[in-house]
Chain A
Amino acid sequence: MIYFDNSATTKVNDSVLKTYNAASEEYFGNPSSLHKLGLKAYELLETSRKQIANLMGFKQDEVVFTSGGTEGNNWIIKGTAFKKREFGKHIITTEIEHPSVLNTMHQLEQLGFEVTYLPVDKTGHISADDLKKAIRDDTILVSTMAVNNEIGAIQPIHEIANVLKDYPSISYHVDSVQAIGKNLQNKFMDPRVDYYTFSGHKFHAPRGIGFIYMKEGKQLEPLMAGGGQESNLRSGTENTPAIAGMAKAIRLLKDKEAQKADEMEQLKEKLVNHLKTLDNVHVFSEIGANFAPHIICFTIDGVRGETIVHTFEERDIYISTTSACSSKKGLESGTLKAMNVQEKVATSAVRVSLDENNTEAEMDEFIKNLDEIHDHFQILN
């Protein structure tokens, strides 16, 4: 089996699973309980938070646990909108965000908020100039992703942050679900950013756990009201085993991060260079500083993405159409559409997404199969 669908989800790491199981058995107490089982669980929870904060360069209080990326994005956007609605109802985002951002925006539009969607250029990048033009007196929030989940384009976070330096009252959120662990810190970590979203299952932690970074002093309206967990920001009994697992997964992720990213980049280059030699193939993920090392989006003209996915699947190779979240609905890629790629090309798009466990042998095997599949489908052209 070759698993090249790591941006959809990753396989949970064995030692992370061990931590998860051990925490479930030894620390099953509710962290809010007064007795010592509760205190033990509380200690595990806070030690995990501290470890994550340290590894990420945050303060301990700035890390708040969620159920994952979708919740994080929903919460930061809605929580900011609800908190600041008296100061303005205008939000700026981009056309290429993940559905958990875009559909949240649509919900807010129904509630009377106005949303500006920034366009992207033909490489899939937004521009800080466009952002500057879109800012209004009543703008309360800017939300831009760090790494696009469909083609891997790295957005100019520092340039946007630079523009926003002149607008201290606008909150700035960066969806960094696809950016963590790819040695891209110097591209998306910026002191002007107020919120980041992270999701555990994208880096070998269990499903159903994630966290947000919330800059000290910032305020969010909670979406979950209840027992006051997470400093009264996100109620609900804490998922301690998954949180401990995630803390471990981040430690493993950060170990030799640069080297691992480098290896992914080399595999990516190999595939991209090969794709460019094939006829009737478009590659949207370029090699270079503006693209993440782990995502390769391409099309084979005339063949629907779905068909390509299934053809690879028959060979025990797993890739996806552009975003797993919308791929079952047969929609064309939102990002490619925003890049003004023709619809018939966009519906052909598939995505290969790598991680640290993928090897050069797997890539060679993939390329061999790709050639065969590509040859086969030339009958359609």
Chain B
Amino acid sequence: MEYTEIMVRYGELSTKGKNRKSFIDRLHGNVAKVLKDYPDLRMQPHRDRLHINLNGVDAKPVMEKLKNVFGIQTFSLSVKVSRDFEDVKKKAIEMMHEAYKPGMSFKVGTKRSDHTYELDTNQVNLQLGDAICDAFPGIDVEMKKPDIKISVEVRQDGIYLSYLTVKGAGGLPVGTAGKAMLMLSGGIDSPVAGYLAMKRGVDIEMVHFFSPPYTSEQALNKAKELTSKLTAFGGNIKFIEVPFAEIQETIKAGVPEGYLMTIQRRFMLRLTDMIREKENGLAIFNGEAVGQVASQTLESMAAINDVTTTPILRPVATMDKTEIIRLAENIDTFNLSIQPFEDCCTVFAPPSPKTRPSIEKTRKFESSLDIDGLLQRAMDGIKITTIEHGDKFMENDQENINSLL
């Protein structure tokens, strides 16, 4: 069947009172960015729904993309029929042929936004139900939990029929909850933390530390590719790369081994906070999980967190590794995250970092370093790019390869 449009129902935002308009605008913008490869689609945002007119575009890939966008409760694929009720019956029966398997039950649910239509809601339900019962002898009608629900929407420009309702990603449209920085390493946890932040509508910007030649171009590309994966949930993401080698070398030369990691992390957090201020962000997200590694014990967190009062949010703080991995698999970042490129955290990792660093000692060891100078030089070297949905960083050669194969 040739479908006409996808009807998107908004998620939690229906409850958000007067902010509604900005929520809808955001969602519309995010959907448009994720669907940018389909310029023929026509989008019409309304108060309570977003209608995406397919305009001849194949619905399947569009639906796959929509499934990921935060702020969508459900969406359904519908077909537009003329207001002639005979047409409606014919199309509904055609739809049932597509959906029906012996033993299934059904119901018809009608909504009239155009109250001038010749039949009222009950009449549409009854007459269409009768027509389907005639076409499928023995079919059960079930009001509470039907296997197939034929939804009918009577509008002025025609009647819209659908039976397939797909669950959306839920959450809030990315951008409606304000902006924050995400400390993105390249491992399994930080992309998941980013995903969870986006789920609650946070517009995240990636802060990635890289230390050439200790870390490779591929590690950087991997972080960018992970960012590209996350654009599926809400559109473009800013990627901020921070050179970190000088700081790491300086710390390595001047600080007792047990405190290398703690002090490195304090520098990372300071830099992230400086970037946040510059970018007008409100908080910092990271992928720390309590007790997972030496830098993530509560003592370490306290010693690292000591450098700022900015809220640091840790969406995976209480998750087990297996839970985080499951989420990473769901959002398709896992296979990428486990690719073995050294990142800046592993290169300078001391063999036995302190799991219970003391804040006083940390401050003392650090005081011998030119903190401001180091931070300033790192800030001077940052590079900012915007990553769009569909950008590729790991498969540089794909075009040539495809032509070969």
Main secondary structure of the interface of A (DSSP, over half): helix
Interchain Cβ contacts under 8 Å between A and B, 10 examples: A36-B217, A43-B395, A43-B396, A44-B404, A47-B398, A47-B401, A244-B405, A248-B404, A248-B405, A251-B405
A48 within 8 A of partner (CB): yes
Per-residue A-contact encoding for B391-405, CB less than 8 Å = 1, 0 else = 000111110111011
> What CA separation (Å) do A295 and B400 show in the bound complex?
38
Nearest neighbor of B395 in chain A, beta-carbon distance: A43
In the complex, the answer to whether B218 meets A19 with C-beta atoms within 8 Å is: no
- A244 neighbours in B (Cβ, 8 Å): 401, 404-405
Within the complex, which residue of A26, A39, A40, A47 is in contact with B405, where a contact is CB–CB below 8 Å? A47
Minimum CB–CB distance for B170 against chain A, Å:
29
**Interface residue B216 (Cβ < 8 Å from any Cβ of A):** yes
Question: Are A22's CB and B217's CB within 8 A?
Answer: no
Instruction: Find the B residue at minimum CB distance from A39.
Output: B218
- Quick check: A51 and B217 within 8 Å, CB to CB? no
Q: Which residues of chain B are near A47, meaning CB under 8 Å?
A: 395, 398, 401-402, 405
Identify which of B216, B394, B402, B405 gathers the most chain A CB atoms within 10 Å of its CB.
Answer: B405
Contact of A19 with B404 at beta-carbon distance under 8 Å, contacts A34-B216, A36-B217, A39-B218 already known: yes
B397/A43 in contact, CB under 8 A = yes
Answer yes or no: A23 CB below 8 A from chain B CBs.
Answer: yes
Q: Which residues of A contact B405 (CB under 8 A)?
A: 19, 47-48, 51, 244, 247-248, 251
CB within 8 Å for A43 and B404 given contacts A34-B216, A36-B217: no
8 A Cβ contacts from A187-230 to B: none
Set B216, B218, B400: member contacting A26, Cβ < 8 A: B400
In residues 226-253 of chain A, which contact B (Cβ within 8 Å)?
Answer: 244, 247-248, 251
Residues of A within 8 A of B218 (CB): 36, 39
Contacts of A36 in B (CB 8 A): 217-218
Q: How far is the CA of A247 from the CA of B405 in the complex (A)?
A: 6
Closest Cβ–Cβ distance, residue A126 to chain B (whole Å)? 36
Q: Are A22 and B216 in contact (CB under 8 A)?
A: no
A40 touches B404 (CB 8 A): no
Docked complex Cα distance between A214 and B30 (Å): 41
Having A43-B396, A44-B397, A47-B402, one finds 13 other A-B pairs with CB under 8 Å, namely: A19-B405, A43-B394, A43-B401, A44-B401, A47-B401, A47-B405, A48-B405, A51-B405, A244-B401, A244-B404, A244-B405, A247-B405, A248-B405
B346 CB to closest chain A CB (Å) equals 14
B340 to chain A, nearest CB (A): 9
CA distance A247 to B401 in the complex (A): 11
Best-buried of B218, B400, B404 by chain A (most CB within 10 Å): B404
Task: Give chain B nearest CB distance to A285 CB in angstroms.
Answer: 34
Closest to A41 in B: B397
**Nearest CB of B to A251, in Å:** 7
Measured between alpha carbons, how far is A223 from B401 in the docked complex, in Å?
30
CB distance from A80 to the nearest CB of B (A): 28
Residue numbers in B under 8 Å from A22 (CB-CB):
404
